[in-house]
Structure 1
Amino acid sequence: MKGFDESKFESFVFEKMSKGKIPGLSVVLVKDGELIYSRGFGFRDVERGLEATPNTIYGIGSVTKSFTALAIMQLVEEGKLNLEDPLEKYLPLKMRPKDEPIRIVNLLTHSSGIPALGYAEAFIRNVIGEEATWIPMASYEDMLAFLSGAEEWAEAKPGLKFFYLNEGYVLLGYIVEKVSGMRYEDYVKRKILSPLNMNRSYFSEEEVGKDPEVAVPYLLTKDGKRVRSAYPFGITADGGLLSNVLDLSRYLTMYLNRGSYGEAQLLSKEGIEEMEKPRIEVPYRLLGNESYGLGWIITPNFLGHKLVGHSGSVLVSTAYAGYLPGPRIGVAVLANSSGYSLSHIGAYALALALGKDPERALPFIKRERIMERLTGRYEAYKGTIRAEVVQRGAMLYLEIKGKYTELIIPLVPEELSEEYARFKVPQLTGWLEAEFKINGEEVTLIYERYKLKRVGPI
């Protein structure tokens, strides 16, 4: 593709996979209905030395939610339900947070007013061997029992506040079953996967077991070790689909074609636009002003274009799918571990596809680069004090450790630039400041009474 710098993109992917210890990753990029880039990186199975390719199967986690939302919208267009219908019209579950009914649109937009109840998190952690509360949830009846009393957990009336609620999408899956007369998985296969020729996208362990190219899921432990793990089969409408980037390229193409793929029309143009309509503000900030639509997160201004996308994670497998309706470009990224945000890799690819330099155009990449410059080993005058600045997630910490003592200081960013960075340090009596001065390769830290200079990497 003209303007897409493959070398720059692949260098970025290798860098992030290396730092995040991601074993394998696959990417696809589409434009105007054509595949313009596809590539596998690293291993789908480290121990057996098997490479990842565009055909490799991974769990896509919450990207599944867009499939569920699409299924609901298909039933809306068939006249079988309405987005304003109350939940209790279809399910024997009378949940009325703050005495208001939860409607289908509230479940689709995570605006039920009920904060996350944690069923999926607990289930996944049990499957991968973490100590977590065991939730015996294998059936529709189990979910109804689990949700009994959940309305008392509500923090807002439906429609007023965003609370990401996996359980809400499980209920949407049950509504699909109730209205269509088919199992949720069968409906999605027949009405979405088959028309799109997504013939290697699965829900069940049995189907996955028959596929010759499935990525081994890996858990990245808290001490940085990579451990073979297992997929959390049993999750459905909220995050249970497994797929590959080539199948997802056809899924994205359907959205870019305004609901059509080949001879099939999965949803009307108006229906697709309903899914892409911003409905409630979300706290996630890729570029600012993000909102949730129907099964998708909407970024109104991604380098001058609307971005429609969603991330997914089941801890041992991660995903991102996104597209730009205007220039008709889509990207899908899948990996067999966590370790780095795939939405950032997707955004990097989209920026390059638009002919932009992501290192300068994407604020979160610039922020990452500055924080990378600040990490390292620091020393005070003549080495009297030795410290380290380390990064964990999106935070930096100043650590001063000895044989018997240690001091770990969180640094809350206030100002970040290529020459200067200022952080707040919480105290019981208020805040202190930590300042970094950046001059080429020289980095100086001023904190409380001390001046320290960066002397090397960790």
Structure 2
Amino acid sequence: MLLSFPCFSRVRQTCAALLLLLCLPLPCLSLLSAHAAEPDFAPVREYIRTRMQERDVPAMSVAVAKDGRLLWTEGFGVADRERGIAADADTMYSLASVTKTFTAVALMTLVQEGRIALDDPVNRHLGEAGLHSWVDDADAATIRHVANHTSGLGTAEQFFYGESERALIPPMAQSIQRYGHLYRRAGEVHEYNNFGYGLLGHVVERVTGQSYGDALRTRVFEPLGMRHSSIDIGPGLERHAAARYGGKREPIPFYGFAEPGAAAMYASAPDLARFGLFFLGRPLPGQREILDARHRAAMVENAFRTDPHARYGIGLEVIDDGGYRWYEHGGSMSGVSASLTMVPSEGLVVAVLGNVSGAPVAQVRERIFQQLLPGWRAQAAATAGPATASAPRPAPIGTAPSEWRGDWSGTLHTYEGPVPARLRVLEDGRALFRLGDQLWSLLDKVEVEDGRLRGYTLSQVPTADARRRRHALRVDLRLRGDALAGEAMAWSGPKGPAGVLDPYFVFALNHWLELRRADSGDEG
């Protein structure tokens, strides 16, 4: 009679299990290993729920992909409170400026086909509605300059709310004629510009002969299997769309744009992850290579330096931080928070979306990085050199330079014609401004730095576009020869320099302002 001891029984079971594993084919062993290595996203999930409750965020969705497969997709909260629709993995969110990455990809497909070149003057592809420069040859501004925000374009954005304003959305050609002005020489400085991506979307339309939405659908979304992506909300996708919510968590009326190439896209988080896998060269089965490796690399190589850790390429930022290099674009506007990040060395893509401004998308991404990137942040700290103190930048002066004191007169140039303008710089350095026959207005929040004066006034620009809302006027002047000249931007929206002029952003409209010393006998 053989005695059976529990310890011997366990040994026999273990040996049997090992023999079974050794008999398995290698692919099965790989699958078991991959399954065992699945990351645990429970802490991130709990973090999302906690932060959403703290900030009263209606809905968020997240997608994480790595090495050619989706690891995690999930929706949280309620995508549409009024209709009682819960957020899920397929919920489509407004993306704001993440749209620019996709406009850039569509543009690069045309570069790949040889139909345009990055160093073409952008005017070559705009037809009669070309750019106008106040300081240089307009043809010096290339497609590359526009794409990396170094073209010198003035600020121009227009949002239109609800059905009553939808009919007011102008064709892009009209917006170019009115606001396609260059205020700086191309390549001099990086200044983030939404109007530029409206231009690039228009280039895509003109070269392809398709609408902007159709061009992105056929060139990007469909080939990459992005079935829950569209410009605005595509037909049949309405039930997947998250509502946008405002600061008091009120539903914001649906709004459209004069510059759709800058901000008009909707997508689900998994669709952004699908795009990211393609871009990193780790595509999912069935995805077509709409851009080859050389043209994808061109979007992030030779990017324009914007700060010590960041550069802006063609529709993507290149970040060196936390011990890794990553590509990203974020988006924020009324009712929108969006983040798309790709880490090429790890084949990692993270997409986080929310339907209110200020949702913790960057913080959620940080938690996912901590989970998946070995030595995240700690690696950067270990390899960083000793900190070096840099000289503090002098604070801007709050009064106009003494040599500018006195009266200046000239013209604000608008698409409806010239408007007389006056600037009076007082002995104490304060400044007053006047447009046409309006009252004098104090130039507020004045900053003078590097020979440049900026300030805000409540003078109203008398054009149909600007009369749509009460607005502030930001003047940005520089001494050019014997003239003070530069951009005067009509601005309407929340939390502005003149207080809350509108609960949501409405417009920013640029105009050329040029002033010269007034005759001593000229009374204002």
Q: With structure 2 as the length reference, what TM-score do the two structures score?
A: 0.60
Matched ranges for 1:6-45 at <5 A: 6-45=41-80
SS in 2 for 1:294: coil
* Aligned twin of 1:252: 276
Question: Does 2:132 align with 1:95?
Answer: yes
* Aligned twin of 1:203: 231
Cα 1:183–1:47 change in 2 (3 A) is closer
Question: Does 2:286 align with 1:262?
Answer: yes
Contact 1:62 1:238 in 2 (8 A): yes
* Aligned twin of 2:174: 142
Amino acid at match of 1:243: A
In the alignment, the residues of structure 2 paired with residue 270 and residue 357 of structure 1 have an alpha-carbon distance, to the nearest angstrom, of 29
**Residue 172 of structure 1 is aligned with which of 160, 183, 200?**
200
Cα 1:137–1:256 change in 2 (3 A) is same
Matched ranges for 1:51-66 at <5 A: 51-66=86-101
Question: Does 2:116 align with 1:81?
Answer: yes
Q: CA deviation at 1:14?
A: 2.4
In the alignment, the residues of structure 2 paired with residue 157 and residue 261 of structure 1 have an alpha-carbon distance, to the nearest angstrom, of 45
* Aligned twin of 1:219: 246
RMSD over aligned Cα atoms: 2.8
**Residue 233 of structure 1 is aligned with which of 230, 235, 256?**
256
Question: Does 2:271 align with 1:290?
Answer: no
Q: CA deviation at 1:170?
A: 0.7
Amino acid at match of 1:9: V
Measured against aligned partners, the alpha-carbon deviations of 1:58-100 in whole angstroms (never above 9, x if no partner) come to: 1111111111111111111111111010011111314335314
Amino acid at match of 1:139: P
Q: CA deviation at 1:136?
A: 4.5
* Aligned twin of 2:145: 106
SS in 2 for 1:218: coil
SS in 1 for 2:235: helix
* Aligned twin of 1:412: none
Measured against aligned partners, the alpha-carbon deviations of 1:135-193 in whole angstroms (never above 9, x if no partner) come to: 94421232123215x22xx2x32112111111111111111122222222111111111
Q: CA deviation at 1:256?
A: 1.5
Question: Does 2:348 align with 1:299?
Answer: no
In the alignment, the residues of structure 1 paired with residue 285 and residue 333 of structure 2 have an alpha-carbon distance, to the nearest angstrom, of 29
Amino acid at match of 2:245: Y
Measured against aligned partners, the alpha-carbon deviations of 1:215-260 in whole angstroms (never above 9, x if no partner) come to: 121111xxxx210113323452111111111221211111121788
What percentage of residue pairs aligned between the two structures are identical? 26
Contact 1:55 1:245 in 2 (8 A): yes
Measured against aligned partners, the alpha-carbon deviations of 1:261-286 in whole angstroms (never above 9, x if no partner) come to: 63511111111111122521235xxx
Matched ranges for 1:329-408 at <5 A: 329-356=348-375
Contact 1:24 1:52 in 2 (8 A): yes
In the alignment, the residues of structure 1 paired with residue 353 and residue 380 of structure 2 have an alpha-carbon distance, to the nearest angstrom, of 21
**Residue 340 of structure 2 is aligned with which of 317, 321, 330?**
321
In the alignment, the residues of structure 2 paired with residue 39 and residue 263 of structure 1 have an alpha-carbon distance, to the nearest angstrom, of 22
Instruction: Work out which structure has the larger RCO, using CA pairs closer than 8 Å and 6 or more positions apart in sequence.
Output: 1
Q: With structure 1 as the length reference, what TM-score do the two structures score?
A: 0.68
Cα 1:356–1:97 change in 2 (3 A) is farther
* Aligned twin of 1:188: 216
Q: CA deviation at 1:52?
A: 1.1
Aligned residues: 341
Amino acid at match of 1:353: L
Amino acid at match of 1:299: I
In the alignment, the residues of structure 2 paired with residue 348 and residue 290 of structure 1 have an alpha-carbon distance, to the nearest angstrom, of 21
Q: Which has the larger radius of gyration?
A: 2
SS in 1 for 2:72: strand
